[in-house]
Amino acid sequence: MAGVRPSEATMLPSRWWRRGGAVGGGGPGGAATAPGGRSARAAGAGARAAPESADAGDAYLIPYGSSSHERAIAAHFGGDVGFDPARHVHAAPGAIFVCFSNRSGSNFLAAALASSGRLRPAGEAFNAPVVVERAKAAGHASFQAYVEDLAGRTAAEGRPLLVKLGWMQLFLLDKAGLLDGVFPEPRFVHIRRDDLLGQAVSHAVAQATKAWTSRAAAAREPAVDEVAFDWARIRRHVAEFAEANAYFDRFFALTGRPVTRVVYESLVADPAGWVAGFGAATGLPLAYVPERVRLERQDDPRKAEFRARALDMARRRAWADPPA
């Protein structure tokens, strides 16, 4: 089926925190653990320390710049973000992680997968503001406690977890040891759009209107003049989305974790076929039930106009124009 391309590579262990030049979490006093890059689960207890540098990505399998999600979560839990087997209580086997960038169609994909009622949708449960808010409400003292609470509630329902992950959240779960420790045998779906410029324009419009879904758009219809064409913002979003796709590609290439890739344009052309194909490939009895999917495509005449203007400016090499 078009758009479903599961990898046959073998899963490798997680890479996580590094302290003092050694791979590992470091218990009290900063003692290094997990020599040779073993996962927290294999290394034993003590994987609790946060990175000492704001650019924690430098210590990871895939170097990256400072992550706002990671900083916010580490700050809220006082650095207690790593997996400690001694505190392990709940697991959620077979979780489905939808790997996405903004405006890639991930909300529709998640709704389509969940429409059969066979999965437990959890939205963006690892988005930093969501983590902090829910952890405060529940009184969780560590990131592991928050993650395992979600896993426990999922296991109690008897349905696989369905949750969305940005690349920053995926990297954090992996290097903290929580991906291996709490989510055995996970399934990954990476959604992207062929039209990166259209994705960037859609994101710019959504940021201006705050209408992130069709339901939000129906509740609030701003005046046309509330959204101004922003050439610099659109260029920046194209770069951000291309970078996000590249980070996901590097993660799956270097860890060998199986991933199913889907292009948004192919998904919307045949959602029933794609969901059925994914279910068959993963052994899940999934079916697309359109009447349960409340999201609709957000058509906005400004998107076509802004896309045309962006292409025109690019063709005229407008980036080289001196500032007004």
Residue-wise pLDDT for 181-216, tens only, equals 999 999 999 999 999 999 999 999 988 877 655 454
Measure Cα distances from 234 to 205, 211, 218, 221, 246 in Å.
10, 17, 24, 22, 18
Residue 320 has pLDDT above 70, yes or no: no
Residue 324 has pLDDT above 70, yes or no: no
Kindly list the domain boundaries of the chain, sorted by start residue: 18-320
Which pLDDT band holds residue 219 (cuts at 50, 70, 90)?
very low
Identify the pLDDT of residue 32.
27
pLDDT value at residue 151 = 98
| Residues in contact with 162: Cβ distance below 8 Å, sequence separation at least 6, in sequence order | 95, 96, 98, 110, 113, 114, 119, 120, 121, 122
Sort 319 into a burial class: Cβ within 10 Å, 0-12 / 13-18 / 19+: exposed
Residue given tokens 């925190």 in the structure block: 17
Residue 310 pLDDT more than 50? yes
Do residues 162 and 10 make contact, with C-beta atoms less than 8 angstroms apart?
Answer: no
State how beta strands 96-99 and 187-192 pair: parallel
Q: What is the mean pLDDT of residues 222-229?
A: 66
pLDDT in tens, 257-275: 999 999 999 999 999 999 9
Mean residue pLDDT across the chain: 81
pTM over 0.85, yes/no:
no
**For the domain 18-320, what is the CATH code?**
3.40.50.300
14/242: higher pLDDT: 242
The whole-number pLDDT of residue 206 equals 87
The single residue listed with the structure tokens 């697309």 is: 288
Q: Scanning the structure block, which residue is given the tokens 């400016």?
A: 313
Query: In sequence order, what are the residues at sequence separation of 6 or more whose Cβ sits closer than 8 angstroms to the Cβ of residue 218?
Result: none
Q: Tell me the per-residue pLDDT of 80-129, one tens digit each, with 9 for 90 and over.
A: 999 999 999 999 999 999 999 999 999 999 999 999 999 999 999 999 99
- Grade residue 297 by pLDDT with cuts at 50, 70 and 90: low
